[in-house]
Chains A and B, each alone.
Chain A
């Protein structure tokens, strides 16, 4: 108990360091003092503006999207008892992406503010469809069935998405930048709007920790312990949709973060969701911000979008899981 709390504090410290790095590292390097001055005593100089209006919003986006994706991944893994659950693999991102393309291409929505609701709606529909298809039949929603259903539905949604983008050049132009996943998509005001959604999602997720532990024992046992299984499932599903949908709306579809981080957390704190959830919530944004910092440095004067970095470091974790674990392990 005590070491887990201490560990969590350590995670918070790591997160603080990554926030500082995200504010100070980039095209130009600023020391901690510069960063402090830009935030506390804004003078309007070039440096202050870069820190305040470019690096702060992307750091904010990283914090929110990271926390949301870490929690969403942990929730999905808990509620489906599926080690492979991730918003990217289970089709949630593809649903959000199609909805966003539809919004840009068909309805002419052009502000990011407008995307949020579409992204969440798309995420919701895709989640429900994937889960329903995956849950039919013997054994319920097994990891393999869900992963296959997710891949198949992602492919399906991807085809529709590409049809829309191919017919309209300007939609293709907007979409191709969005789909990679980046922390520089959202402006400060959009990030502000996302805060309440993420906050609700976080509260909902953290409250569910104990119920998820009981769910891990199997539906029967959980029921006998007094857990209302269906209520927990629906609440967790709602939290996933809000968290993953909002994260996708502010940063585009970022894959594998929600998969990898909860596994790391589980390895460190054991199978207790009361700890896995907060650890994931703190570790995921730290990883995301550090990945973003790396992306700023490797391709100058261009930047490598963070979605590429997370895929390149996250997908091997997925492959390692597939190789090592018995898939029914959760």
Chain B
């Protein structure tokens, strides 16, 4: 890791922590900073413990976790497809999770949503992968099949929303928009464990793929191993996006935007992967703070804010990517 990477990632992590700390002090229940610190050091009242330790803290941690996961997952896919527009959202992961979650909210009315969402996204991603498989998997076929599968799943999801009563439809819509509301320690643990296992795998996979690709002649003889590394990286990318979606719903555009920003700050690819994670975390935590405060006491799902931040950037990105000829 070179010096500039180190500086930028330190800045990103520091900013994330600062915004996270700020999030702990802001909310509908006013708690002065000293009291927040007391509570963090274990001297809070029952209610303060509940609000800070069981409410705001896990929410911030889930935000950091899913932001990191989306960022890294996005970086993996953009790296493999060599296209800035290819993101895990497009290959069925979100749609599958969404269908499962809406099914649980509206029809079954029960169950641990992250579990169902995880199952749904893995099933959908597997279906997309199998449908796209034809003597190997090309990045584009994967994405295009993903668009098709997403459309089928999306129409079933929309139908389920029409069956529910309006309150249930609203909480399902909120989940669909991507939200950190009401996230507890179980969600934080889920995404935390996922990162502990998958981040090293992502880094190792990316490093190995890079080594393999460096020597052209060598790589040709090692074509099988390149395919294998690619397959493993896809698996890690899907798992990261699926687990993040399971914990917080499909938060839009983080996986698209974070790796792009990272690439502009850090040239080296493996470091860029981690940088994308750091920026994803910052993006989600900061957006959630905005989402909670901008219309308070009405709260917006964080996904709406990331969409509004990410969308214009995406447009510029698409135009630029196509102009330099990397858009396909």
Interfacial residues, chain A to chain B (CB-CB below 8 A): 84, 88-89, 129, 133-138, 142, 144-145, 147-149, 151-153, 155-156, 159-160, 162-163, 165-167, 169, 172-173, 176-177, 179-181, 255-256, 302, 304-305, 307-308, 311-312, 315-316, 318-319, 322-323, 327
Question: Shortest beta-carbon distance, A161 to chain B, in Å?
Answer: 10
A300–B298 alpha-carbon span in the complex (Å):
39
In the complex, besides A148-B328, A180-B158, 16 extra interface pairs with C-beta distance below 8 angstroms are A88-B151, A136-B327, A138-B325, A144-B140, A148-B86, A148-B327, A155-B252, A156-B311, A159-B303, A159-B304, A165-B173, A167-B298, A319-B131, A322-B148, A323-B134, A323-B145
Contact of B328 among A88, A144, A159 (CB under 8 A): A144
Question: Shortest beta-carbon distance, B69 to chain A, in Å?
Answer: 19
Task: Tell me the chain B residues, 142-159 only, with Cβ under 8 Å from chain A.
Answer: 143-145, 147-149, 151-152, 154-156, 158-159
In the complex, are the beta carbons of B170 and A172 less than 8 A apart? yes
B319 CB within 8 Å of chain A: yes
A322–B145 alpha-carbon span in the complex (Å):
7
Interface residues on B, range: 35 or more
Given contact pairs A144-B144, A159-B252, A176-B162, A137 touches B304 in the complex (Cβ within 8 A): no
A290–B12 alpha-carbon span in the complex (Å):
56
A7–B262 alpha-carbon span in the complex (Å):
57
In the complex, are the beta carbons of B162 and A149 less than 8 A apart? no
B141 CB within 8 Å of chain A: yes
Please list the 7 inter-chain residue pairs (A to B) with the smallest Cβ-Cβ separation, ordered nearest first: A159-B307, A311-B155, A137-B322, A144-B328, A136-B322, A138-B325, A156-B311
Task: Tell me the chain B residues, 288-322 only, with Cβ under 8 Å from chain A.
Answer: 295, 298, 300-301, 303-304, 307-308, 311, 314-315, 318-319, 321-322
Residues of B within 8 A of A169 (CB): 166, 170
In the complex, are the beta carbons of A155 and B89 less than 8 A apart? yes
Interfacial residues, chain B to chain A (CB-CB below 8 A): 83, 85-86, 89-90, 131-132, 134, 140-141, 143-145, 147-149, 151-152, 154-156, 158-159, 161-163, 166, 169-170, 173-174, 176-177, 252-253, 256, 295, 298, 300-301, 303-304, 307-308, 311, 314-315, 318-319, 321-325, 327-328
With both beta carbons as reference points, the residue of chain A lying nearest to B141 in the complex is identified as: A322
Residues of A within 8 A of B322 (CB): 133-138, 145
Given contact pairs A133-B319, A134-B322, A159-B311, A166 touches B169 in the complex (Cβ within 8 A): no
In the complex, are the beta carbons of B304 and A166 less than 8 A apart? yes
A180–B159 alpha-carbon span in the complex (Å):
6
In the complex, are the beta carbons of B304 and A180 less than 8 A apart? no
